[in-house]
């Protein structure tokens, strides 16, 4: 059954359509800011989820210290909108990026992450171009086996290199502990901190990360800030992680049932180009249909979402517009040029996804 709001969105914007509930967005911002405040940890939200200067400004106005970006292109969009305190949580390499970083650092307070000597060796050029010191944090791997140095000794060696590099300032450490690995992260951090203090340095910035780790706020003694991203919208992954409920999921994909060729199957107009093929770490299907939670979005073509209705007590009809909670909302938003904003049953505007597609 299609709700009046869904019918209006389908009529005015067509489907598939990404829709954000601004009341839920504001509630999510307030809830996580309050949790950070209660833990004595500054909030530095990652904008990779929403990619919107307007929403970033709402987060800062609610009390966030600054923001986190993954790419220079994202940071440039945010700085252009007046966001001034930006962490780029990614290794930056090459003359082209140093020129852009230098220009960015000249007009915004920037911090960048590094996990190897080659990256650090290139950063003084950006500092020189900006005309002021550039802050650098060392990314530490504390169990995820992604980027980051693997030992405290490596972190100390990089801190020494930063301190000895003209135009660079050692700022501290950036960590992304696993949800159950905070004791190990504490041991890593304590050893790295002791090592840099022997060099006469200190860590004014100790940044932990992840919306799934919101339940671990304050567990790392010495942490100064946290970098949650997905919390502003939430998704099936955050519900599964126990840090949100489906009523906290502020972004839904509105999609039309375009085929019901057999009783136990159907087709949506939202395929991999909308919902993406991200499984969300082993979720059952590729999104939750709120009107038919037993139905499975079982597989994709680019423009087709293939429904398995064999377990569904209620089954949609051709023409029905349904709402889907994505598995992983961040990758879904990156497919969108804009999202429709609603409050209650009213459409209140269209929000450009201004920093989408920034590969560099």
Residue 195, CB-side half-sphere exposure with 13 Å CA sphere: 18
The per-residue pLDDT for 282 is: 86
The per-residue pLDDT for 61 is: 98
Q: Where are the alpha helices (DSSP H) in 276-351?
A: 329-333
Under a CB-based contact definition with an 8 Å cutoff, are residues 314 and 322 in contact? no
Per-residue pLDDT tens over the stretch 190-219: 999 999 999 999 999 999 999 999 999 999
Structure-derived torsion over alpha carbons of residues 340, 344, 348, 351, reported in degrees to the nearest 10: -30
Per-residue pLDDT tens over the stretch 212-259: 999 999 999 999 999 999 999 999 999 999 999 999 999 999 999 999
Beta bridge partners of 348: none
Crossing angle of helices 22-39 and 53-61, in 10° steps, is 40
Tokens 């994505």 label which residue?
A: 326
Mean pLDDT confidence for 295-307? 97
The per-residue pLDDT for 320 is: 98
The per-residue pLDDT for 23 is: 98
Share of the chain above pLDDT 90, in %: 98
Tokens 């700022």 label which residue?
A: 171
Mean pLDDT confidence for 257-275? 97
The per-residue pLDDT for 185 is: 97
Beta bridge partners of 69: 88
Domains, in order of start, for the chain: 4-20+243-352 (2.40.37.20), 23-233 (3.20.20.10)
Bond prior to 173 in cis (omega within 30° of 0): no
Per-residue pLDDT tens over the stretch 33-82: 999 999 999 999 999 999 999 999 999 999 999 999 999 999 999 999 99
Share of the chain above pLDDT 70, in %: 100
- At a CB cut-off of 8 Å and minimum separation 6, what does 183 contact? none
Rg (CA), the chain: 22
The per-residue pLDDT for 38 is: 98
The per-residue pLDDT for 331 is: 97
Mean pLDDT confidence for 279-293? 94
Under a CB-based contact definition with an 8 Å cutoff, are residues 270 and 255 in contact? yes
Beta bridge partners of 265: 262, 308
pLDDT at 319 over 90: yes
Per-residue pLDDT tens over the stretch 141-195: 998 999 999 999 999 999 999 999 999 999 999 999 999 999 999 999 999 999 9
Name the pairing type of β-strands 288-289 and 321-325. Answer: antiparallel
Q: Which of 242, 70, 48 is nearest to 59 (CA)?
A: 48
Mean pLDDT confidence for 349-353? 98
Residue 20 buriedness (CB in 10 A; 0-12 / 13-18 / 19+): buried
Beta bridge partners of 174: 139, 207
Name the pairing type of β-strands 321-325 and 17-21. Answer: unpaired
The per-residue pLDDT for 1 is: 78
Tokens 């994909």 label which residue?
A: 253
């Amino acid at each position: 059954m299609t709700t009046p709001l869904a019918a209006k969105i389908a009529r005015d914007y067509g489907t598939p359509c990404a829709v954000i509930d601004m009341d839920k967005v504001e509630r999510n911002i307030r809830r996580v800011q309050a949790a950070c405040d209660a833990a004595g940890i500054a909030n530095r939200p990652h904008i990779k989820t929403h990619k919107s200067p307007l929403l970033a400004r709402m987060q800062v106005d609610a009390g966030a210290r600054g923001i986190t970006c993954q790419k220079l292109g994202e940071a440039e969009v945010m700085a252009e909108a007046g966001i001034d305190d930006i962490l780029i949580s990614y290794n930056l390499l090459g003359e082209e990026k140093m020129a852009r970083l230098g220009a960015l650092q000249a007009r915004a307070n920037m911090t960048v992450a590094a996990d190897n000597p080659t990256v650090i060796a290139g950063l003084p050029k950006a500092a020189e171009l900006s005309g002021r010191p550039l802050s650098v944090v060392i990314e530490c791997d504390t169990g995820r086996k992604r980027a980051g140095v693997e030992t405290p000794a490596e972190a100390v060696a990089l801190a020494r290199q930063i301190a000895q590099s003209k135009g660079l300032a050692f700022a501290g450490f950036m960590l992304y502990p696993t949800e159950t690995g905070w004791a190990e992260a504490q041991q890593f951090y304590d050893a790295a901190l002791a090592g840099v203090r022997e060099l006469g340095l200190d860590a004014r910035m100790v940044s932990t990360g992840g919306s799934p780790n919101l339940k671990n706020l304050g567990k790392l003694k010495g942490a100064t800030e946290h970098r949650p991203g997905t919390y502003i919208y939430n998704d099936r992954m955050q519900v599964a992680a126990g840090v949100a409920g489906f009523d906290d999921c502020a972004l839904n994909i509105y999609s039309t049932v375009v085929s019901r060729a057999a009783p136990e199957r159907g087709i949506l107009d939202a395929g991999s180009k909308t919902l993406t093929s991200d499984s969300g770490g082993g979720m059952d299907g590729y999104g939750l249909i709120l009107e038919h939670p037993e139905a499975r979005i079982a597989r994709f073509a680019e423009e087709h979402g293939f429904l398995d209705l064999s377990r569904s007590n209620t089954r949609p009809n051709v023409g029905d517009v349904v709402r889907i909670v994505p598995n992983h909302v961040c990758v879904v938003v990156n497919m969108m040029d804009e999202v429709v904003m609603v409050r209650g049953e009213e459409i209140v505007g269209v929000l450009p996804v201004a920093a989408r597609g920034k590969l560099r």
